[in-house]
Structure 1
Amino acid sequence: MPLGGSITHGVGSSNQNGYREVLLQLLHRHGFYVRLVGSRKAGTMSNDEHEGWRAFRVDQITTKAKASAKKLQPHVFTVNAGSNDCLQGYKIEEASNRVGDLLESLWLACPGSTVVLASLLVNKDERVDATIRAFNQQLETLARIKRVEGRKIVFVDMRGGDGPLVEDLVEDGTHPNDAGYAKMAKIWLRGIQAASNSGFLSATRR
């Protein structure tokens, strides 16, 4: 289940597939049998299901995700959520609590599922980007805590050397273009491979 806001939806990409189509192709190429699930549809790809809610904050995404996760029972969640919290400057100091609530709601609905949690992307607006950096620090710490607690979680850094750069964003300075989404897909793949190597995904390999 691709889960998050408008970036999960694919806003900014030429076909609204975002990272999802490239990721699906990469997963199949690397021997993973995968079907994307979600209550929403977007893009030109045949398997276009996702759980990306445009303009939604983490707490709002949680409300939607609870119902979809319980109904669809995904094995893996790729979570990229919080950009709208940062754009709105919404209680950033409490971000880890909100994301923690989201993750726990996923594991409650789907016991044994794996979360690949991503840091938020770079933003062209320097003020927003500073907020994103603070948010990301909380995300990385949260992922470490959940891993120590025994949860199946992998953290991936979308702001690393191979992540989307400012020049990979469309004019709004927030959403990736096709090249940026392709970079995201490769990082998601790396996270899913790490989860597989940790023994989290044995039932999903061919």
Structure 2
Amino acid sequence: MEVRNRVRLVLGLIAVLVVGILLPADRSGDEPAEVRIAASKPVVALRIMPLGASSTEGIGSPSTAGYRGPLYRMLQRDAINVDYVGSLRSGPSWLADKDNEGHSGWTLATLAPKIDGWVRAARPDVVILHAGTNDLGQGVPGDVTARRLDDVLGKVLAAAPRAHVVVAGVWAPLPKARAARDELAALTPVIVGKYRMQGYSVDFLDTSTLLAPGQLYDGLHPNTSGYVKIASMFDGEIRQWLDTRAVA
């Protein structure tokens, strides 16, 4: 009886090996090498809300969920326990936390009515806001887009007054809307400065020259290399904010 059981075990192992050889592994959800970073033991926990349009969703690099995957790994390396928050879920299988608020194709004007509900439900510690590209792409002037941004930012801060809000500038080149893009980039620090004067924690990151031509997927959205660079920028901003908060 014992011999039969051993034979069955051996035959079972052989069958598993044969199936493993004949059926190739599905690697479509594998983590790209560019974002493989060893995690440190978490010492800080943060609820982070990625808020915006298609680049927040990750168009151009679905294997990394745009910047969200690389940023997740970078913050883990920095001993930060990341909890992404938002009403949507998207991303590759390797990304453990797929929550976000990235609405592809949406403008600041279409985001605005939803902001209060989304932010209050998510209760974020950090909000990464990247929006306005679609407004400019639709021909909206820079000053009008800036007023829309002011409206959205005000709603975010009203819903989460203790959160740190990172306002990222438009990184798409938008050659047909270059003047409007430049005007928005010039007005955004003024808007952010107004809220800082009111005591809110908010920073503007000018990304107008951040990406090289080779870091764009389609001339509009970043590719994996571009998103890794963006994630590194957000990682540095969040760490700097944490350091400032610790000193205070």
The structure 2 residue matched to 1:127, chosen from 153, 156, 176, is 176
Deviation at 1:37, TM superposition (A): 0.7
Pairwise mapping of residues 153-192 of structure 1 onto structure 2 (< 5 A)? 153-160=202-209, 163-171=210-218, 173-192=219-238
Cα 1:3/1:201, change in 2 over 3 Å: farther
Unaligned runs of 5+ in 2: 1-48
Pairwise mapping of residues 67-146 of structure 1 onto structure 2 (< 5 A)? 67-123=117-173, 125-146=174-195
| TM-score, scaled relative to structure 2 | 0.74
User: 2:141 and 2:181 mapped to 1: Cα distance?
Assistant: 12
Cα 1:137/1:201, change in 2 over 3 Å: farther
SS where residue 208 of structure 2 aligns?
Answer: coil
Q: Is the 8 A contact 1:16 1:42 kept in 2?
A: no
Pairwise mapping of residues 33-72 of structure 1 onto structure 2 (< 5 A)? 33-44=81-92, 45-72=95-122
User: 1:95 and 1:145 mapped to 2: Cα distance?
Assistant: 17
Larger gyration radius, structure 1 or structure 2: 2
1:12 equivalent in alignment to 2:80: no
Over residues 63-102 of structure 1, what are the superposed CA-to-partner deviations in whole Å (9 max), with x where a residue is unaligned?
Answer: 2322111111111100111000110112432222211211
Aligned length: 198
Q: Is the 8 A contact 2:59 2:221 kept in 1?
A: yes
SS where residue 66 of structure 1 aligns?
Answer: helix
For residue 190 of structure 1, what is the amino acid of its counterpart?
Answer: G
SS where residue 61 of structure 1 aligns?
Answer: helix
User: 2:85 and 2:146 mapped to 1: Cα distance?
Assistant: 26
Identity %: 27
SS where residue 217 of structure 2 aligns?
Answer: coil
Deviation at 1:16, TM superposition (A): 5.7
User: 2:217 and 2:188 mapped to 1: Cα distance?
Assistant: 25
Deviation at 1:49, TM superposition (A): 0.8
- Dislocated runs of 4+, deviation >6 Å: none
User: 1:85 and 1:107 mapped to 2: Cα distance?
Assistant: 21
Q: Is the 8 A contact 1:2 1:37 kept in 2?
A: yes
- Higher alpha-carbon deviation: 73-82 or 56-65: 56-65
Deviation at 1:138, TM superposition (A): 1.4
User: 2:131 and 2:241 mapped to 1: Cα distance?
Assistant: 19
Higher RCO (CA < 8 A, seq sep 6+): 1
User: 2:246 and 2:175 mapped to 1: Cα distance?
Assistant: 37
Over residues 109-159 of structure 1, what are the superposed CA-to-partner deviations in whole Å (9 max), with x where a residue is unaligned?
Answer: 122111011111031x42223322221111122112221221111222223
Deviation at 1:57, TM superposition (A): 0.7
Deviation at 1:201, TM superposition (A): 10
